[in-house]
Chains A and B, each alone.
Chain A
Amino acid sequence: MEEFDFSQPSRQSSKGIIVIFAVNAVKWLRALFPALVALGFGLFRKNSFLTWSPWMIALIIFVLLLLMLGVAVLKYLNFKFHVADDDFHLDTGIIEKDKTIIPKSKIQNVYIQQNFLQQIINVVSLKVESAGDKKSEIEINALSRPMALQLKKALFDRKSATVETNDIFQDEVEANVFFKISIKRLFLEGLLHNHLKSFAIITSFAFGIYYEFKSIIEDLQINDNLDQLTTYEDGLAQVLYLNLLLGFIVLIISIVYSVVRIVIGNFNLEVIENNKTIEISKGLLNKVSLTLTPDKIQNVIVKTNALKRRLNLHSLYVKQAMTNEKQSKNFGIIALEDVHIQHLLDKLLQNYHTSDEKRKPSSYYKRIMAFYSLLFLVLINLIAVVLFDYNALFVNLFLVPFMALSVHYRYKKAYYNITEPFLTVGSGFIDTKKEIINIHKLQAVKLVQNIFQKRRGVASVIVYTASKSVTIPYVNEKQAKSIYDFLLFKVESEGKNWM
């Protein structure tokens, strides 16, 4: 294998020009999208725009592209990095020169990623994340894979390295592929996903598009046609039919959307087990590979639903401290089997164990959820009647059973238990969710009680970690207080670190 010298300032692969160019082009395209659409419509209708001929416009676009290419080349030439002593140095900027230095000890995560374009031209990008705010992230766009791996190694190779970080690389020798997703399970996972979320996304997206292009749609007189459709004599049946049809179409689209999203995002998902760490690599258009280190893990969430459980499909999500929002979405492993989950929990949480005894929230929790649902229903009905007419009340046909089921299942799935040193909290409506934290990772505890809860003698306990908060809802006040005291006692008496 070729050895690379990182002590001298070096540029990335010259293919980086293409990547920088593409990244900029996408950025510009996104910013200019509305203008381009308007331009397109102008061309479409009058064959000209602001009295410019199509040739003129083509010329302008050509010049713009050339300009962008020039910028990309300059950016490439001015982008140099090297590793000196215990620091990572990066010089960037065409006119305004930026010099970034990150001490190796402050580097939190290094990711290797490969998007679609990078896959074609056979380079990878390397992201360096340091502790600090969201902007403290460096991305090198185009490196050959061996070079990226070596740089990653160089970044973690510290003179004063702690034992754990050294382990990461000694580990990789004895790595074995622990889990590899099969196409069948991948599709099943997509198909049985909770489609409500996609449904909401698609619906809001459709509304967004509609408002964005309202004027255009009005121009095309689709509205008139729709009006004609809806002004038929037998109103109620028509409205019902049309709405059901619309709902059905959106449902189909959202199912396709979630299947495609999950298949693309998790294509070729592989979990590699090292001595101490777990490595995940996945993705079709955008390949990512990341490392999970038990020390940094704050929360672990295991998710499944009734159908998935039947097919032995479980997902595991990990929240790590010092990870930026966007990356943390990738810290999930789907389509795992029961045994895999057990094994991973053991590995990531070190001997995770739980008892079958599930402590339930007070039954008052169920009543208050029912009460809120009722309030919500009344509100929806009022709005429906005021905005539309009595025909709109047919939504209750779906809403009432939905709410009733929601209350029933949310209470049924809510539980908690403490098996030292772990706190497990279950929740969910359609999904069955199990959140696990190690008590030593807690940052603060909060006891919350409103006046109604006080009358009933119940309270909620909120446990904060560095990544997420977990709520134990509506437990007996005395119990809540003893949980509170117990958690603090554990953290304060044993004095273990949270990271």
Chain B
Amino acid sequence: MNFTNSQIEDFTIPSLEEVHLKPISKNYFKIIVINKIVVYGIFFLILLMLNRFVDDVAFQDNFWVLFGVLCIFCFIDFTTSYIAFKNRKYAIREHDVIYAKGFLTRSITTVPISRIQHIEESRSWLARQLHLSTLNIFTAGESGSDLTIKGLPKDEAKQINDFLSSKVNGRI
């Protein structure tokens, strides 16, 4: 039997487009921002220190150029990560887990629950303060097929974990 489009409509296969993808917690953006602030803070600090202690004329003349470039970089990075953050969405269906992400290159990965090997819930210090959780979903496939959903509200992560675990265990 050949694969055709019409055939699919006959079967009324559940479609990806009907799925309502849920954005991850807004709080997670705070974590992204804090991480970035730390990184850029170090960069700016180095630049300012250099300004203070280096007497090289060529450097001093170009200080503001460097400063400007770093500012622009910082700005672009923040906006792109905001857009990328907005694109991080997930959905749990009866039979699978869906995760979408990306800014320039967007991807949507789906793992059928019947293919899940194990699930891990991890929480960094910062995430604990903001009541967030990261869910790692492992399959038997290569690394590209594992899902990592960051920035889930703690309670929801637990619910998802319980739901998936019971389904995975029920299978065996």
Contacts and interface: CB of A to CB of B under 8 A. Distances in A.
A420 interface: yes
Given A449-B105, A486-B13, 18 more contacts: A357-B2, A442-B112, A444-B144, A446-B109, A446-B110, A447-B16, A464-B141, A464-B142, A466-B139, A481-B15, A482-B5, A485-B8, A485-B15, A485-B16, A488-B95, A491-B114, A491-B115, A492-B114
Contacts, number: 112
Interface SS of chain A: mixed
A485 B145 contact: no
B1 interface: yes
A485 B13 contact: yes
B108 interface: yes
B17 interface: yes
A489 interface: yes
Contacts of B52: none
Report the contact-size class of chain B (Cβ under 8 Å from the partner). 20 to 34
Contact of A450 (B11, B105, B111): B105
A447 B111 contact: no
Most chain A CB atoms below 10 A, which of B106, B114, B140: B140
B110 A484 contact: yes
A445 B1 contact: no
A495 B114 CA distance: 7
Contact of B107 (A357, A420, A449, A469): A449
A464 B144 contact: yes
Nearest to B107: A448
B156 interface: no
Contact of A447 (B1, B8, B107): B107
B63 to A, nearest CB: 30
Contacts of A451: 104-105
Contact of A498 (B17, B107, B115): B115
Given A419-B2, A464-B145, A488 B105 contact: no
Contacts of A417: 2-3
A486 B6 CA distance: 12
B170 interface: no
Given A449-B106, A450-B106, A481-B16, A444 B111 contact: yes
Contact of A492 (B11, B105, B112): B112
Interface in B1-32: 1-3, 5, 8, 11, 13-17
A238 interface: no
Given A417-B2, A464-B139, A443 B13 contact: no
A214 interface: no
Nearest to A499: B140
